């Protein structure tokens, strides 16, 4: 009796991971570090309230305090059949070190399907020095590359692998300094950065109100208008700001407090229940989001898939939020967020981070990092049907440096 031929499923089981490579992107204007931009770009040289605004020497530009020092990274995970999954990320040389010197050992020689196991081992093994920040950026980059690899092997887009589309298109709001131009381009809303924080006192508060009054006059009453406060405020100022802006009907106030101030978020919701409060961009893993969710301190959660732990962890965070009927609107991350949002009924729309210098055009989020990254059309988008994330690295135009290349 002959031996039955191997099925495609059997062959997939035999595919293992043979290499993990981490590169630093040594150029500005492209990649996963949103803030690594050329001088004069709105993301770095617009007056934006931030946790360092109380120091005059670091107030005018966020690059002055080093917001762009971490650098973009690219991660490649190669399988035994030669297939390579890729991801964009952030964290520069430190993240590359963690990936190549620490996390790589958990992947080499392993079945490509074991994403939950890989995530758990990377997280537990780095817990003594991690939990937030760069270690989670590194884990996120590896996880995103693994999802790309699995999609390429299965010849399926990521959104199909996690449940399939729940709608025909994704509506987008645009983050930048020109919501009025975003409105003309078909976006459903626009989010502007707040210019002044508590250290600017009454004059700063008046300037903030004037900024949003003028934009509301431009876009009219029905366009969604939001304010990004980027961790710059304290509780009393946030309450005062909310009341000062009440007549302008802002859709939300975002990230007004430092992410660790769980009690502050609860007090904020208690004191100003009529305002939508959002946060999560700088929070990490389901453990960080759990208290925000259980206390119902915020109205909308905004995890970033490239920071919070990758898609594997974002799906867990999203499931927790869904159990409490809390919407999830991910922060940034371009195609990685689009593949996620289109599958989630409780994600009403998605953010498009405008990476053009003056917000007068709407380029792909990652610049020229990929040859085929999609840009919004009439303020909407649908994720690529190409396998994995559907992104092809633009190698000929990228200066990629691999700082660590040693066998473990």
Report pLDDT digits (tens) over 144-194: 999 999 999 999 999 999 999 999 999 999 999 999 999 999 999 999 999
pLDDT at residue 406 greater than cutoff 70: no
26 and 144 belong to one structural domain: yes
Would you tell me how many other CB atoms lie within 10 Å of the CB of residue 259? 18
Count of domains in the chain?
A: 2
Q: What is the pTM of this model?
A: 0.96
125 and 190 belong to one structural domain: no
Percent of the chain with pLDDT strictly greater than 90: 91
Would you tell me how many other CB atoms lie within 10 Å of the CB of residue 115? 17
pLDDT at residue 376 greater than cutoff 80: yes
Yes or no: say if 145 and 76 are a contact pair by the CB < 8 Å rule.
yes
pLDDT at residue 67 greater than cutoff 60: yes
CA distance 87 to 110: 19
pLDDT recorded at residue 14? 87
196 and 317 belong to one structural domain: yes
User: CATH number for the domain including 13?
Assistant: 3.30.390.10
131 sits in the region (left: phi over 0; alpha: psi -120 to 50; else beta) called left
pLDDT at residue 6 greater than cutoff 90: no
pLDDT recorded at residue 60? 87
User: CATH number for the domain including 250?
Assistant: 3.20.20.120
* 113 included as an active-site residue: no
pLDDT at residue 195 greater than cutoff 90: yes
Which structural domain, as residue segments, surrounds residue 223? 160-381
89 within domain boundaries: yes
Q: Reduce the DSSP state of residue 245 to 3 states and report it.
A: coil
Burial class (CB in 10 A: 0-12, 13-18, 19+), 56: exposed
What's the number of CA atoms in the CB half-sphere (13 Å) around residue 314? 34
pLDDT recorded at residue 2? 59
CA-to-CA separations, 61 to 55, 71, 318, in angstroms, rounded: 11, 17, 34
CA-to-CA separations, 7 to 2, 83, 279, 388, in angstroms, rounded: 15, 19, 47, 22
Would you tell me how many other CB atoms lie within 10 Å of the CB of residue 102? 17
150 and 210 belong to one structural domain: no
Report pLDDT digits (tens) over 199-250: 999 999 999 999 999 999 999 999 999 999 999 999 999 999 999 999 999 9
pLDDT band (50, 70, 90) for residue 34: confident
366 within domain boundaries: yes
Any idea what the Cα angle at residue 137 is, between residues 281 and 386, rounded to 5°? 90
Which entry of 41, 196, 282, 331 is annotated as an active-site residue? Answer: 331
303 within domain boundaries: yes
């Amino acid at each position: 009796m002959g031996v039955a031929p191997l099925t495609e499923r059997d062959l997939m089981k035999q595919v293992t991971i043979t290499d993990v490579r981490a590169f630093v992107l040594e150029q500005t204007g492209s990649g996963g570090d949103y803030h690594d931009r050329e001088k004069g770009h709105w993301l770095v040289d617009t007056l934006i309230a931030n946790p360092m605004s109380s120091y005059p020497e670091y107030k005018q530009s966020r690059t002055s305090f080093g917001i762009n020092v971490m650098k973009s990274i690219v991660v490649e995970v190669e399988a035994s059949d030669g297939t390579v999954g890729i991801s964009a990320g952030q964290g520069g040389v430190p993240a590359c070190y963690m990936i190549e010197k620490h996390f790589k050992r958990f992947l080499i020689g392993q079945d490509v399907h074991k994403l939950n196991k890989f995530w758990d081992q990377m997280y537990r093994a780095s817990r003594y020095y991690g939990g937030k920040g760069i270690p989670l950026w590194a884990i996120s980059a590896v996880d995103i590359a693994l999802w790309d690899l699995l999609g390429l092997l299965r010849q399926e887009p990521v959104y199909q692998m996690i449940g399939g589309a729940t709608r025909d298109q994704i509506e987008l709001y645009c983050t930048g300094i020109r919501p009025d131009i975003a409105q003309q381009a078909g976006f459903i809303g626009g989010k502007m950065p707040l210019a002044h924080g508590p250290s600017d006192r009454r004059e700063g508060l008046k300037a903030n109100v004037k900024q949003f009054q003028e934009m509301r006059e431009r876009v009219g009453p029905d366009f969604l208008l939001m304010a990004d406060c980027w961790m710059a405020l304290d509780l009393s100022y946030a309450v005062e700001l909310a009341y000062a802006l009440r007549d302008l009907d802002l859709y939300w106030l975002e990230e007004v407090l430092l992410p660790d101030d769980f009690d502050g978020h609860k007090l904020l919701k208690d004191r100003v229940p009529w305002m939508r409060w959002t946060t999560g961009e700088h929070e990490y893993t389901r453990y960080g989001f759990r208290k925000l969710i259980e206390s119902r301190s915020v109205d909308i959660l905004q995890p970033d898939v490239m920071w919070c732990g990758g898609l594997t962890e974002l799906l867990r965070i999203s499931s927790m939020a869904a159990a409490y009927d809390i919407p999830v609107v991910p922060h940034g991350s371009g195609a990685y967020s689009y593949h996620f949002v289109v599958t989630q009924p409780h994600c009403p729309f998605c953010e498009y981070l405008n990476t053009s210098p003056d917000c007068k055009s709407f380029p792909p989020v990652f610049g020229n990092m990929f040859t085929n990254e999609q840009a919004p059309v009439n303020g909407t988008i649908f994720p690529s049907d190409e396998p994995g994330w559907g992104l092809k690295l633009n190698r000929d135009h990228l200066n990629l440096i691999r700082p660590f290349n040693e066998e473990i």
